[in-house]
Structure 1
Amino acid sequence: MINQLRLYQLFPATAAAFHARFRDHAARIMRGHGFRILAMWETGEGDSLAFAYLLAWADEAEMAAGWAAFMADADWARIKRETLETPIVGRIEDRVLRPTEYSAALGDIA
């Protein structure tokens, strides 16, 4: 099992539109392609506002296949076109998190 951390730079003027699109569309479509979204957060404020979410995957092959299917999804392409405002997000960071042999599994933390 691996995790993937995604961090999106948000702009104060379009943060509400981003959240609406992610909540109402992206998360639903992602789940349809096998994404397991463990948690979502907003961090920072003003010019340092960001959205972060954590995904769980069996392995990197499953992650690559899930992202390929999501990016090729016709419904997602349509929604992006329909909801695109002036840049809705800035920089996107993507981190694959591989557990160390001495790490507690997620959910094992009390």
Structure 2
Amino acid sequence: MHQLRIYQIFDHNKAEFHARFRDHVVRIMRRHAFDIAGMWEARGEGGPEFVYLLHWPDEASMAARWADFMADEEWSRIRAETTARHGDLVGRIENRVMCRTPYPASPA
């Protein structure tokens, strides 16, 4: 299964968001066994967005690893420090858990 995450980010502190994600979040997620399949920046109707795709073996693993990540002391400290210094780096968060259909995307 996959999880699609879409974060509203802001033009005025977009560089700080990317620095935090690149320099800290990715490393912490990998420590908690997140499998990051890809990351993109997109432009939605409301402005810039950060989009990433995670691969999970099952829903129980996804829930447990997210709980561990959210409770991670290093992540809590980094989030607090960067928010104090640059303001909120993320607005709206969209989350989609996606399971493959039993048929292929294109006919054989």
TM-score (norm 1): 0.89
Secondary structure of the residue aligned to 2:16 is helix
Secondary structure of the residue aligned to 2:12 is coil
Give the superposition deviation at 1:103. 3.2
How many percent of aligned residue pairs carry the same amino acid? 55
CA RMSD of the aligned region, Å?
1.4
What residue number does 1:43 align with? Answer: 42
Give the superposition deviation at 1:46. 8.8
In 1, Cα distance between the equivalents of 2:44 and 2:16?
A: 16
Give the superposition deviation at 1:86. 1.8
In 2, Cα distance between the equivalents of 1:53 and 1:12?
A: 18
> One-letter code of the match for 1:100?
T
Unpaired runs of at least 5, structure 2: none
What residue number does 2:21 align with? Answer: 22
In 2, Cα distance between the equivalents of 1:3 and 1:35?
A: 11
Moved over 6 A (4+): none
What residue number does 1:107 align with? Answer: none
Which protein has the bigger helix share?
A: 2
TM-score (norm 2): 0.90
